[in-house]
Structures are given as structure tokens and as C-alpha cells.
């Protein structure tokens, strides 16, 4: 009951926010389109999203090759191989209380996209829980599920799928 | 049947003993041949093979793609008439052709054209003169040629099948273009004619766009955008591009679906937890109602046509299956029991069938689930199908599938007999949503 | 199926029984013997009509059955003719026998008369009157016997003629029934062929629910089967589906028609009920 009330309060707050639509974030990038009426085309997101240098820099700092945890088919169990990666992140986050990470869960591209969003959220949350167990402050972490929307490699075979089923850990750019 | 026997018997008795037929002999015709109507569309005069908007050609493609018509190849035409008087009915009848479409385009200057179109019925009488089923004349700006062609296709389709055509409806879909030398992509929310032409983006983003769905008036689409790297649900006006943020709760904001009256948006929200549940957002007041309350994945709500219940995908039984929740009792029950994976349900207009994404040993395919019989018919043989979305008349289902290294749109008739693919110039095309009639 | 066979067998046996009866009994009872053959053909009508409503294979089978029955009827008629011939021969033999007997009797009588004349001469005058009387009496008796014999022969001949007439009538009735059967077989055969021809031309749209929808077409045919006119006398409620039914009729023209004028007359005006049983 308490849980429900809390949810309701959150919902009301959120809806209120939605209703006000006061979303100050994100620079709108107008993208000229060919064939379409530019007036009807909004451009959102940021081309900075295409810059991987921050992730590469952080991997070097953490002493790991890639800040990614891979999963078996239909599984959200963290394999022992990837515990050192999580430990390196935990150590860094505990040392740098101002550092923030986004844990992004992904699936391979097969099946229902929205159902895959649900599946990949489990993968993101399982890593977050492990980092909490390793002593990281929960406030330093956000999770997101991209489902099948951001496959790591193109292709429709098991070798591609095995790279798609993953959590990517990325650090917010500070300052 | 019994009555026929007795009727026929008494007729024979009368004929045998009185040599007088008091009643006419009756014969029951019970099993025809399920096939498309053979029809010829004579290229409109003047025919312009280089013009993709040639009205005759657009009509021919529309009718051909519907699955209800078998379009006669032009090399079999016995003549190329443009006027009804010029039609030699016997020439066409000998080819077992049912109907003939012909027309003329006259330039009026000032970029205006006059379009005359005739639909003929060849087997309406014993004579060789065809009957005119429909004859129309339009004056339009030349830029509206395609729209008029689709309008004429709708008219012909309804005349010949008795059902409303969907050629003037639209598709919303997500197009994904790779960024060269990178794993990053650019995402587009696209609106196009139902034949894939006149495609234009109403939103571009550097982050994923998902799950477009039409408002019942066809004026706007709701969708998920990850433009902040986190998912949010927006609506965009298709004509003006004007956007409105609808849902930005912690965690998953996904799978929007408008109620039939357009007042409520059903969504999947995780509210900062791991699993999404089904919620209803009142589009007027913004009030929120939680419908499902469990620790499994509950997503992809789909409204029944009467607005009284929702179908949704849940893995509460261990694997994704379709469930139905009654909005007044809030009771959910499992619907699909065939196979280990059924998701992405849409209710067909009659309310008696679902289109679903079904997995079997061949992979993921579009299927029709019959709610009365509980049987499932797999329609495609693609293995990588996703996001089935039925046409407003329920005859065709658009979906996304794999073609080589790319994703493209396919359309399959809801009886599985016709399957076509809509080519796209570049990139991946996914998550199509078929507009209502108004769209 | 077996009951139908035994039914026709029983009918056949019954007919033969009646035929036998004809030869023994009177003219009026012989006329009655048409009845069982009528009820036989009624039975057959029912079978024929059953066949129309059923499938092609079953129809083929029915036609075969009917042909077998037709053959049986023909065999029956042949047997009857044979029986009739036998009866004729028997009657002729009887007449011949009567004639022979008559001739023998005459010879005998002549001899008796001669003998009486000789006795009369021997007995002379005393016995003259008595002898004359005796001779007269004897002659009278012989004449009476002859007349009686003649009458019997005549009566037999009459009976034979009546039997012949009855047998002929029965044969004609049997032939008429056979012709009737043949005509109905023709009608049914061509009804099946028409159904086939129109169904092959009837387009049912993929996915369009035609259940509960029925279109009724009244069709007028020329003698060669050409569709002269087709009229929608009962609409499905969907003009498009009505039109597909009309197209099917005209596309199937000319329809197969029987050469038998009686059967043709029955099929020139015909009604097609388009109905998808689902």
C-alpha cells in the first residue's frame, strides 16, 4: 500500500511535469531534409552523441579494454569474466563521488522491440545492483534500456548477436 | 439442402407426369475459386512511362498490391482504348477479364489537369458492350496526381470488392541510417503514403526513435524518443510537426497506444523499477492509472475496437504471450497458448482476430491469432519479421523484415496469400504503423 | 447403398410376381401391375435428387447406379418380351391341340355313324325307327361337344388376346418409366455440369467473408446453352459480390445443355443460388 502511494505520488509529480512540459534539456539540432518540408521536421539529440572518445578515455583510465559486459542468450546473469570490469568501475566511482555513469542494457535484434526493452532493462539493473553490492552510491548510477535499438555490430548471425547482448557503461562528461 | 432435394424431386415429378414445369429448376453454386479479380488498367492517355506519378500506373500498382486484383500484363492487351466507345468488349471477354479501367489526362494550363476515369464491367450481359460501373472527372493541380490516383484506387476497390480501400492512408515508420565509419546511426520518424512514396521525416534524432502509433483521427503520431539518452513519449502533429511531451517517468517509457476515442494513451512504464507495467494516461487531464501490478514484463498494450479491454504482452508465465485485461474488472487473462513466443499484438478491425509477432523454429514471423477458435496462422516466412501493423480494413498487415543486410517494409494479406515488399532507397526501415482511414 | 440395391431388387421381384399374375388373372388386375413400377421410379427419383446435391464423385457413382438400374429395367423388359413370346407360343400350342382333338373327334364320329348305318341295315325295318333316333341323338351329342370345344377354344383365344394386350401395356409403361428415368438422368447430369461450369468461373475474393451472403440468379438459356439473360432476383446485400455471381454466369456461357428435348425444356429457365457454405 505504501509502495502504491509512493508510486502514485511519483506519477502525479511526473504527470505534472509532463503537463508543464518544461523540458529545458537538449539542444535542438535542425537537420535540413531533402524531399521533406523542413518546417515540419524537428531535429533532436546531439551530434556529440557520435563522439566515442570519452568512452575510450575512460576505458584507458579504468585499465580495461572496453567498458562492456556481455550476456548469454536469454540471460541476465553476470559472468565471472566481467567481474574485474565491474570492480574497476566500482573502485573509480567510490574514489570519484562526482562521477556519474549510465548503464545501458541491450539485446540482440530478434523479436519484439518493446519486449526487448523490458529484457534489456533487466540486464542494466543487474549490473547496477552488483555495483551497489560493491559499495557504489546508487545516486551515481542511472540505467537505461535500449533493447534492440543499438546493436553493437551489424549482421544477423550468432557472432553478431553475442556482441549485441550487452551492457555499455558510459561516464557523463564532467565540467 | 434437404429442401432442394424435395424441391427438385417435386419438379421432376411434375415434369414427368404433367409435362409442365410449375417451378424453375434450382442449382446451388457453393464453391467458387478463391482468386483475385482479373482486371486491366489501360495506361491513361497520354501515358508517360517515365513519370512515376502516372495516374494509370499508380492505380495499377495500388490494385495489384491489395491482393484482391490480378492485374493483366500490358503485353496481353488486345487493344489500348482510352474511350468507352473504343472498347471492343469481345476482345477482352475472350481473355476472361472482368473489368477494365481507362482514362484521359488533359492539361488545362496553370499546372491544372483534368482527369477522366472509367471503370467498365465486361460480363454484365450477353451483349458485347461493356457496362460503365463508374465514370468520374476531376480537375486538380498536377502536384496532386498521386493523391488523386490513390483516391481513384479507393473508389475502384470499393466498387469491385464492396469494402473500403486503404490506398489513401499513410504509414509512420522509423528509418535508421548508419553514420559512415561508425557504429552510430541517425534516426528518422517518417510519414509516407501507403505505397511508400512521398516519404518525409517529421523528426530526426541522434538517438533511437521507437514505436510510432497513430492517433485515431490520423492527425498525430505518438512515439518513444531517446533524444536525452533516456526514453520519453511524445506526440507529433503530422502536418505541423508540433511536438508534445507526454511521458518522462523514471525508467522505461514505452509502447504508446491511443484508445479508439483518442482520449487515453496506454503506455508501458517501469517507474524506476526493472519491469514495465501497463498504465493509462488521460490525454486531457494528464491523470495516470496503473492497470497491471506485477514483477514481470508487461508491455505493448493494444486496444480492442470497443475500447473496453486491452491486449498486451507479458512474460508472467515465463515466456512472452498475449494477455487481455478488462478495463472495468481490471482482470487479466491469458489469450495466446500457441507456441512459446507471441508478442506485438494488434486487434483487427472486426475485433475477432489479433495480428501478432510469433516465434517458431523458423524464427519470427507475422501471424494471425483467431480469438474465437484459438488457432494461429503464420502469414510470413521471413524469420526476422517484427512490428506487424494491420490496415484499417484489416486486409493487409505491414511489418518490418530483413532483406540482405537491411531492414525493409513488407506487406502481407491477412490470409497470407499476398506478400509484397516496399523498397527503401537506403538505411533500415522498421516499426511501421498503418494509419487510420483519416490519416 | 445396399438398401437401395435391395429396394430395386425387391421392386424387380415384385414386378415379376405381378407379371406372372397377369397370365393367370383378369385384364383389370393386369392393369394394376403398373403401380409397382411407378413406385420403383419414385424411389429412383429420390436417389437422383440426392445425387445432385452431393459431390461430383458421388454423382458419378449415382449415374453409374442409375445406368445399372436402367440396364436392369431393360433386362426386365427383354425378359418380359421373352415371357410374352413364350405365352404366345403356349396359347398357339393349346389352340393347335384343340384343333387336333376336334379333328380326331370328327374322324371318330364319322366312323361311329358308318358303323350305326351298317347296324341299321342289318337290323332292318323292325329297328329302323329306333336306329334312326339313336343316330340322331348321337349326332346331336357330337355337335354339342364340338360347339363346347369351339367355345372353349374361342374363350382361350380371347383370354390370350387380353393377356397380350395387358402385357403390351405393361411393357409400354415400363418403357415410359425407363424414358422418364433417362430424362431425369440427363437433367441431373447437366445440372451437375452447369454447376461445375459456373463454379469454375465464380471468383471468391481472398479474405472476403462471403458466409451468410447469398445471391440468386435467374438465367434464361438458348437451345445451345448460350446465356440469353441473367437476372439478379436475390441480392447478397453486397453489389460487388452480386456482380461476381453475374460475371460467373456469363463467363460460363454457353452452358452445357442436354440434347434430349424434354430435358432441355426443363433446363432452359434455371435458377442458380450462389451461396458459400463457409
User: Which residue numbers in chain C have pLDDT < 70?
Assistant: 1-63, 65-66, 70, 72-73, 77, 87, 91, 94-95, 98, 112-113, 116-132, 207-212, 277-278
Give the closest of B211, B229, B297 to A144, CB-based: B229
Q: Assign domain B170-434 to its CATH architecture.
A: 6 Propeller (2.120)
Please give the radius of gyration of chain B, using alpha carbons only, rounded to the nearest integer: 26
Model pTM? 0.73
Compute the Cα dihedral for B196, B202, B208, B212 and give only its sign. negative
B/e letters for C231-261, b = 16+ CB within 10 Å, e = fewer, are ebeeebebebbbbbbbbbbbbbbebebbebe
Give the integer Cα–Cα distance in Å for C180 and A151: 81
CATH 3.30.1330.10 fits C202-275, yes or no: no
Chain C residues touching residue B15 (CB < 8 angstroms): 183, 262, 266
Give the integer Cα–Cα distance in Å for C116 and C111: 9
Contact C253, C187 (CB under 8 A): no
Confidence of residue A162 (pLDDT cuts 50, 70, 90): very high
Which residues of chain C form CATH 3.30.1150.10?
202-275
What average pLDDT does the segment B86-107 reach?
92
What does the DSSP assignment read for B89-147? HHHHHTTT--EEEEEEEEEEETTEEEEEEEEEESSSSSSSSPEEEEEEEEEEEGGGHHH
What does the DSSP assignment read for C24-48? HS-HHHHHHTHHHHHHHHHHHHHHH
Contact C144, C152 (CB under 8 A): no
Provide the percentage of residues in chain B whose pLDDT is more than 70: 95
**Edge-to-edge strand list for the sheet holding B37-41:** B69-71, B37-41, B99-109, B112-121, B131-141
Q: What is the model's pLDDT at position C17?
A: 52
B85 secondary structure, DSSP code? G
Contact B322, B369 (CB under 8 A): yes
Give the closest of B207, B228, B252 to A25, CB-based: B228
Q: In this structure, what are the phi and psi dihedrals at residue C149, rounded to the nearest 5 degrees?
A: -65, -40
Do A and C make contact, counting contact as 3+ CB pairs within 8 angstroms?
Answer: no
pLDDT in tens, B208-241: 999 999 999 999 999 999 999 999 999 999 999 8
- Assembly ipTM: 0.90
Chain B residues touching residue A10 (CB < 8 angstroms): 249-250, 271-272
Do C and B make contact, counting contact as 3+ CB pairs within 8 angstroms?
Answer: yes
Tell me, rounded to whole angstroms, the distance of Cα C123 from its chain centroid.
71
Contact B253, A14 (CB under 8 A): no
Chain C residue with the nearest C-alpha to that of B24: C270
Quickly name the fold that domain B37-161 has: Rossmann fold (3.40.50)
Distances (CA, A) of B415 to B135, B157, B412: 32, 18, 8
Q: How many Cα atoms sit within 13 Å of C132 on the Cβ side?
A: 5
Chain B residue with the nearest C-alpha to that of A44: B205
Domain boundaries, chain B: 37-161, 170-434
Evaluate if residue A174 carries a pLDDT over 80.
Answer: no
pLDDT in tens, A81-104: 999 999 999 999 999 999 999 999
Q: Assign domain A55-175 to its CATH architecture.
A: 2-Layer Sandwich (3.30)
Amino acid at each position: 500500500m505504501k509502495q502504491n502511494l509512493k508510486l502514485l505520488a511519483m506519477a502525479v509529480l511526473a504527470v505534472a511535469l509532463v503537463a508543464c512540459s518544461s523540458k529545458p534539456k537538449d539542444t535542438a539540432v535542425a537537420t535540413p531534409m531533402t524531399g521533406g518540408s523542413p518546417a515540419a521536421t524537428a531535429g533532436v539529440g546531439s551530434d556529440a552523441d557520435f563522439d566515442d572518445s570519452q568512452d575510450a578515455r575512460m576505458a584507458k583510465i579504468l585499465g580495461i579494454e572496453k567498458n562492456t559486459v556481455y550476456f548469454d542468450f536469454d540471460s541476465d546473469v553476470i559472468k565471472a569474466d566481467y567481474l574485474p570490469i565491474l570492480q574497476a568501475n566500482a573502485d573509480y566511482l567510490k574514489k570519484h563521488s562526482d562521477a556519474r555513469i549510465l548503464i545501458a542494457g541491450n539485446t540482440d535484434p530478434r523479436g519484439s522491440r518493446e519486449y526487448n526493452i523490458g529484457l534489456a532493462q533487466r540486464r542494466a539493473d543487474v549490473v547496477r545492483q552488483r555495483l551497489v553490492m560493491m559499495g557504489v552510491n546508487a545516486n551515481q548510477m542511472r540505467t537505461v534500456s535500449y533493447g534492440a535499438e543499438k546493436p553493437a555490430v551489424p549482421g544477423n548471425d550468432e557472432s553478431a548477436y553475442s556482441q549485441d547482448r550487452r551492457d555499455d557503461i558510459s561516464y557523463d562528461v564532467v565540467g | 439442402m434437404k429442401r432442394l432435394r424435395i424441391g427438385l424431386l417435386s419438379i421432376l415429378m411434375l415434369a414427368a407426369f404433367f409435362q409442365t414445369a410449375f417451378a424453375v429448376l434450382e442449382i446451388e453454386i457453393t464453391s467458387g475459386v478463391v482468386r483475385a479479380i482479373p482486371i486491366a488498367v489501360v495506361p491513361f492517355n497520354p501515358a508517360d512511362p517515365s513519370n512515376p506519378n502516372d495516374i494509370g500506373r499508380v492505380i495499377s500498382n495500388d490494385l495489384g498490391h491489395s491482393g484482391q486484383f490480378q492485374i493483366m500484363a500490358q503485353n496481353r492487351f488486345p487493344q489500348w482504348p482510352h474511350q468507352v466507345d473504343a472498347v471492343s468488349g469481345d476482345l477482352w471477354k475472350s481473355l476472361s477479364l472482368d473489368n477494365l479501367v481507362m482514362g484521359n489526362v488533359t492539361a488545362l494550363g496553370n499546372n491544372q489537369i483534368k482527369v477522366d476515369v472509367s471503370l467498365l464491367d465486361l460480363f454484365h450481359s450477353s451483349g458485347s458492350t461493356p457496362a460503365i460501373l463508374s465514370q468520374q472527372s476531376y480537375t486538380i493541380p498536377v502536384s496532386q496526381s498521386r493523391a488523386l490516383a490513390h483516391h481513384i484506387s479507393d473508389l475502384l476497390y470499393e466498387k469491385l470488392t464492396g469494402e473500403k480501400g486503404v490506398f489513401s492512408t499513410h504509414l509512420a515508420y522509423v528509418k535508421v541510417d548508419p553514420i559512415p565509419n561508425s557504429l552510430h546511426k541517425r534516426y528518422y520518424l517518417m510519414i509516407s503514403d501507403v505505397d511508400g512514396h512521398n516519404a518525409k521525416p517529421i523528426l530526426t534524432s541522434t538517438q533511437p526513435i521507437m514505436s510510432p502509433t497513430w492517433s485515431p483521427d490520423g492527425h498525430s503520431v505518438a512515439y518513444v524518443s531517446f533524444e536525452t539518452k533516456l526514453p520519453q513519449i511524445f506526440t507529433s502533429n503530422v502536418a505541423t510537426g508540433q511536438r508534445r511531451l507526454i511521458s518522462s517517468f523514471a525508467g522505461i517509457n514505452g509502447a504508446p497506444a491511443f484508445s479508439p476515442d483518442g482520449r487515453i494513451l496506454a503506455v508501458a512504464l517501469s517507474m524506476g523499477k526493472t519491469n514495465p507495467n501497463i498504465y493509462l494516461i488521460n490525454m486531457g487531464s494528464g491523470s495516470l492509472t496503473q492497470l497491471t501490478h506485477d514483477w514481470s514484463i508487461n508491455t505493448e498494450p493494444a486496444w480492442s475496437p470497443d475500447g473496453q479491454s486491452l491486449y498486451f504482452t507479458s512474460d508472467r508465465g515465463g515466456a512472452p504471450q498475449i494477455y487481455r485485461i478488462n478495463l472495468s474488472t481490471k482482470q487479466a487473462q491469458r489469450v495466446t497458448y500457441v507456441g512459446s513466443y507471441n508478442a506485438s499484438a494488434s486487434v483487427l478491425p472486426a475485433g475477432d482476430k489479433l495480428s501478432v509477432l510469433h516465434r517458431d523454429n523458423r524464427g519470427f514471423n507475422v501471424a494471425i491469432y483467431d480469438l474465437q477458435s484459438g488457432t494461429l496462422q503464420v502469414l510470413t516466412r521471413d524469420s526476422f519479421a517484427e512490428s506487424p501493423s494491420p490496415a484499417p480494413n484489416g486486409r493487409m498487415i505491414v511489418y518490418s523484415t530483413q532483406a540482405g543486410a537491411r531492414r525493409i517494409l513488407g506487406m502481407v494479406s491477412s490470409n497470407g496469400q499476398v506478400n509484397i515488399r516496399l523498397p527503401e532507397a537506403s538505411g533500415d526501415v522498421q516499426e511501421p504503423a498503418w494509419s487510420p482511414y483519416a490519416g | 447403398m445396399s438398401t437401395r440395391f435391395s429396394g430395386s431388387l425387391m421392386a424387380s421381384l415384385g414386378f415379376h410376381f405381378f407379371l406372372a399374375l397377369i397370365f393367370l388373372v383378369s385384364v383389370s388386375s393386369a392393369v394394376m401391375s403398373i403401380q409397382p413400377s411407378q413406385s420403383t421410379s419414385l424411389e429412383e427419383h429420390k436417389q437422383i435428387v440426392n445425387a445432385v446435391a452431393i459431390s461430383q464423385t458421388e454423382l458419378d457413382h449415382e449415374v453409374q447406379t442409375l445406368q445399372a438400374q436402367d440396364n436392369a429395367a431393360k433386362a426386365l423388359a427383354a425378359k418380359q418380351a421373352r415371357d410374352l413370346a413364350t405365352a404366345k407360343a403356349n396359347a398357339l400350342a393349346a389352340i393347335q391341340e384343340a384343333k387336333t382333338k376336334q379333328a380326331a373327334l370328327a374322324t371318330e364320329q364319322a366312323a361311329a355313324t358308318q358303323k350305326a348305318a351298317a347296324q341299321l341295315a342289318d337290323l332292318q325295318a323292325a329297328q329302323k325307327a329306333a336306329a334312326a333316333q339313336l343316330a340322331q341323338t348321337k349326332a346331336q351329342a357330337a355337335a354339342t361337344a364340338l360347339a363346347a370345344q369351339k367355345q372353349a377354344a374361342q374363350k382361350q383365344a380371347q383370354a390370350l388376346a387380353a393377356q397380350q394386350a395387358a402385357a403390351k401395356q405393361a411393357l409400354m409403361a415400363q418403357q415410359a418409366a425407363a424414358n422418364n428415368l433417362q430424362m431425369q438422368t440427363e437433367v441431373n447430369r447437366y445440372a451437375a455440369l452447369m454447376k461445375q461450369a459456373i463454379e469454375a468461373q465464380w471468383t471468391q475474393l481472398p479474405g472476403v467473408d462471403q458466409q451468410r451472403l447469398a445471391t440468386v440468379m435467374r438465367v434464361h438459356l438458348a437451345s445451345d446453352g448460350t446465356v440469353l439473360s441473367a437476372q439478379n432476383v436475390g441480392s447478397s446485400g453486397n453489389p460487388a459480390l452480386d456482380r461476381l455471381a453475374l460475371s460467373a454466369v456469363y463467363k460460363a456461357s454457353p452452358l452445357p445443355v442436354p440434347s434430349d428435348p424434354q430435358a432441355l425444356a426443363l433446363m432452359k429457365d434455371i435458377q442458380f443460388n450462389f451461396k458459400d457454405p463457409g
